[in-house]
Amino acid sequence: MAADDPRPLIGEPLSLDLLNTRWRLTAETEDLLTDVTGLAVWLRTNGLDQRCPADEATLSALLQARDALAGAVRDPADPTPATLTRVNAVLARGRLRRSLTPEGPAEEAGTDSPAWLPAWLAVDDYLRLLRVDPTRIRACANHGCLLHFFDTSQNRRRRWCSMAVCGNRAKAARHYARSRS
């Protein structure tokens, strides 16, 4: 993980980490992907900085993927036709090449342009999460929060992007409401 990444939640699967490049801790929405400097931070955080260029073309492709994923997570069980079109447009830019090596089976992602690799990987990761369990893809229960996470808790009851941030705010609000009664 990159030390210079300012986001409050990092380390989620790649697709959700891309969604989490927009966040809100106050009334103001923050966006890591406003320029190639932020893109470079995101690529570094996700270990893609050696494989993908931090340039305007990559930023544009990644923003298209983020918009597609934002539509997809709204209702994973019933995506709109427009969402399907946007997701599939990103997926059409790449492919997965499988091979047999001396070490065993191998997979390598390839795209029609290096700029599309991080976008394709993120959307492909979303498909992986859907195959694992779409009900574990969650938005933070704090209605003011924009962050998403993949619930890996044993009881599948995680509600907050971070207990230290949103969970604590909810507890403080409940305490304040009780004390006012």
* Amino acid present at 93: R
Confidence at 175, pLDDT banded by 50, 70, 90: very low
Task: Report the alpha-carbon distance of residue 117 to residue 13 in Å, rounded.
Answer: 16
Residue 1 lies in a domain: no
H/E run at residue 89: helix 81-91
Enclosing domain of residue 166: 14-180
The domain total for the chain is 1
Q: Residue 72 belongs to a domain with what CATH number?
A: 1.10.3300.10
User: Per-residue pLDDT tens for 130-167?
Assistant: 999 999 999 999 988 999 999 999 898 899 898 777 86
Q: Are 141 and 159 in contact (CB under 8 A)?
A: yes
Residue 7 lies in a domain: no
Residue 129 lies in a domain: yes
* Amino acid present at 5: D
Residue 2 lies in a domain: no
User: Per-residue pLDDT tens for 161-172?
Assistant: 987 778 666 555
Six token digits for residue 52: 């993908």
pTM value?
Answer: 0.89
Mean pLDDT, range 46-69, rounded to an integer: 97
Task: Report the alpha-carbon distance of residue 119 to residue 65 in Å, rounded.
Answer: 5
Task: Report the alpha-carbon distance of residue 75 to residue 56 in Å, rounded.
Answer: 30
